[in-house]
């Protein structure tokens, strides 16, 4: 079996012009940058930093953000190099198909589907929760939950997913413009909250900056401890240097989104310039925003006070210092922030499946594009699936799967850079990762290190997902792949 068969770069690029399976190029570098900010600056900016400070790193969560940002930034350089060579939908899936082979590409594509579908469903669900919270804070007696017999359905996720699905069906540019306007507004809210928060910062809250390590007290600490602690037999602990590292693995969720931007490469104007530029600018904005929020959150109140709360957030910090008025603004910011994330994830998961379908690993009919230059049927299908999962199921237990899917993709893209440099040194690259091959290898190791800092239960669920993926690949994908059948038609 030719499990590691690879597609040529020329073949991959030629497919983007196949009639009935081509996407429309109309996104600028600014559209891509805003898309990255839109998906990365969601509810996480109001909650993930506070939770990492409370239960993992204390004030040193600032260092956790620096580590996560550096690892993500390094991985993004690898994405930028590949996007400058292969501006095709599919992101890490497409990149690995041209370098390390089909079976690895399938694994990454399958991981990306999990990452984006689950993230979109979880965030859609929470959008409904926060929308109801906002209504309550404003004194509006409006509810979005309905009961059909014993089944409770939240209509809010259905509405928001349907709205962005319609926008994306009619054109990625239209969706990007609406998403961009909402993103600019939510950035303004974040900056306003940060400025106000600085007036409540006290220097003593940063002491000790790195709290001493202490045993974890959770009854399920074994499954929730980092994999490497479990593997080495270490007693489950929080804070200290291990807490900084596990905090970095947690806040890495904050940087989710830049692999999604790469999936839109095929819809970018002048992609060899605009994709690396858009990804870089977007990541820079996200790092600055998250660092500011982390400083404000840990400076306003003690990390111990945050840990005493059931679900600490930036809003919790304002409430603890008596600035309850800020809760309404933060609540609106969360509703707005989550909405923009949903659109980009809907786009991302559709483009990954589109690329896999066009290659024959999934049914080819899924990659058909209509008169608006978008895969309308696939977009609607994913919108319906995401809305059903969000409206009818408890998806919070799968939210931690997002990080491991992203990190696994980042790792393999980094490994692919020196492989492609060796195989095809002749290919034009408008951006090159410096220090090849050692820097890409170090980037891959850094991503693997963050992965082993994720919990044991996350790894168990990840293995189950991979087993399902292998069953589909060997049952359908391998036999129907166009590469194996010799059915690629670059002239089409």
- Judged against a pLDDT cut of 90, whether residue 297 lies above it is answered with no
Which position has the higher pLDDT, 88 or 489?
A: 88
User: Does residue 405 form part of some domain?
Assistant: yes
Would you tell me how many other CB atoms lie within 10 Å of the CB of residue 16?
18
Angle between helices 29-40 and 326-358 (to 10 degrees): 120
**Band of pLDDT at residue 226, cut at 50, 70 and 90:** low
User: Does residue 472 form part of some domain?
Assistant: yes
- Judged against a pLDDT cut of 70, whether residue 256 lies above it is answered with no
User: Does residue 2 form part of some domain?
Assistant: no
User: Does residue 1 form part of some domain?
Assistant: no
User: Does residue 414 form part of some domain?
Assistant: yes
User: Does residue 289 form part of some domain?
Assistant: yes
Provide the domain limits for residue 93: 9-485
Residue 208 CB burial class (10 angstroms; 0-12, 13-18, ≥19)? exposed
Give the pLDDT of residue 395.
59
User: Does residue 492 form part of some domain?
Assistant: no
Q: pLDDT (tens digit, 9 = 90+) per residue, 164-221?
A: 899 888 876 777 778 778 888 888 888 888 888 888 888 888 888 888 877 766 544 5
User: Does residue 445 form part of some domain?
Assistant: yes
**What DSSP assignment string belongs to 38-63?**
HHHSSTHHHHHHHHHIIIIIGGGHHH
CATH of the domain at 160: 1.20.1740.10
Dihedral sign, Cα of residue 61, residue 63, residue 65, residue 68: negative
Give the pLDDT of residue 400.
62
**Structural domain count of the chain:** 1
Give the pLDDT of residue 489.
45
- Judged against a pLDDT cut of 70, whether residue 448 lies above it is answered with yes
- The whole model's pTM is what? 0.77
Distance separating alpha carbons of residues 86 and 84, to the nearest angstrom = 6
């Amino acid at each position: 079996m030719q499990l590691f068969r690879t597609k040529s770069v020329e073949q991959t690029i030629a497919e983007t012009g196949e009639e009935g399976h081509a996407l429309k190029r109309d996104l600028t570098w600014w559209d891509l940058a805003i898309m990255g900010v839109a998906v990365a600056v969601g509810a996480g900016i109001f909650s993930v930093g506070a939770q990492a400070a409370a239960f993992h790193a204390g004030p040193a969560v600032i260092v956790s953000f620096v580590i996560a940002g550096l690892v993500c930034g390094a991985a993004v350089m690898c994405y930028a190099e590949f996007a400058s060579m292969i501006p095709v939908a599919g992101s890490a899936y497409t990149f690995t198909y041209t370098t390390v082979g089909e079976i690895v590409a399938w694994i990454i594509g399958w991981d990306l589907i999990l990452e984006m579908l689950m993230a979109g469903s979880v965030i859609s669900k929470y959008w409904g929760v926060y929308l109801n919270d906002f209504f309550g804070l404003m004194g509006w007696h409006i509810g979005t939950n309905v009961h059909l017999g014993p089944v409770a359905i939240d209509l809010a996720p259905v509405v928001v997913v349907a709205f962005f699905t319609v926008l994306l069906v009619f054109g990625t540019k239209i969706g990007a413009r609406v998403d961009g306007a909402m993103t600019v507004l939510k950035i303004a809210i974040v900056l306003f909250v940060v400025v106000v928060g600085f007036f409540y910062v006290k220097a003593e809250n940063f002491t000790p900056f790195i709290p001493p390590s202490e045993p974890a007290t959770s009854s399920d600490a074994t499954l929730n401890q980092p994999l490497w602690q479990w593997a080495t037999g270490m007693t489950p602990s929080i804070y200290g240097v291990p807490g900084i590292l596990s905090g970095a693995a947690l806040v890495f969720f904050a940087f989710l989104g830049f692999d999604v931007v790469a999936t839109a490469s095929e819809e970018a104007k002048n992609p060899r310039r605009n994709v690396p530029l858009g990804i870089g600018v977007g990541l820079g904005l996200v790092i600055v925003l998250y660092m500011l929020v982390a400083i404000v959150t840990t400076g306003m109140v003690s990390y111990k006070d945050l840990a005493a709360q059931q679900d600490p957030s930036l809003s919790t910090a304002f409430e603890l210092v008596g600035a309850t008025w800020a809760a309404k603004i933060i609540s609106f910011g969360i509703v707005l922030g989550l909405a923009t994330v949903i659109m980009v994830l809907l786009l991302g998961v559709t483009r990954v499946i589109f690329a896999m379908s066009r290659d024959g690993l999934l049914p080819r009919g899924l990659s058909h594009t209509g008169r608006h230059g978008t895969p309308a049927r696939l977009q609607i299908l994913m919108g319906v699936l995401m809305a059903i999962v969000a409206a009818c199921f408890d998806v919070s237990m799968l939210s931690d799967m997002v990080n491991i899917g992203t990190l696994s993709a980042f790792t393999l893209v980094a490994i692919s850079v020196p492989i492609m440099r060796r195989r095809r040194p002749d290919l034009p690259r408008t951006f090159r990762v410096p220090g090849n091959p050692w820097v890409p290898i170090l980037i891959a190791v850094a991503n693997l290190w963050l992965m082993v800092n994720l919990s044991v239960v996350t790894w168990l669920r990840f293995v189950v997902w991979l087993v399902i993926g292998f069953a589909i690949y060997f049952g359908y994908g391998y036999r129907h792949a166009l590469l194996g059948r010799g059915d690629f038609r670059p002239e089409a």
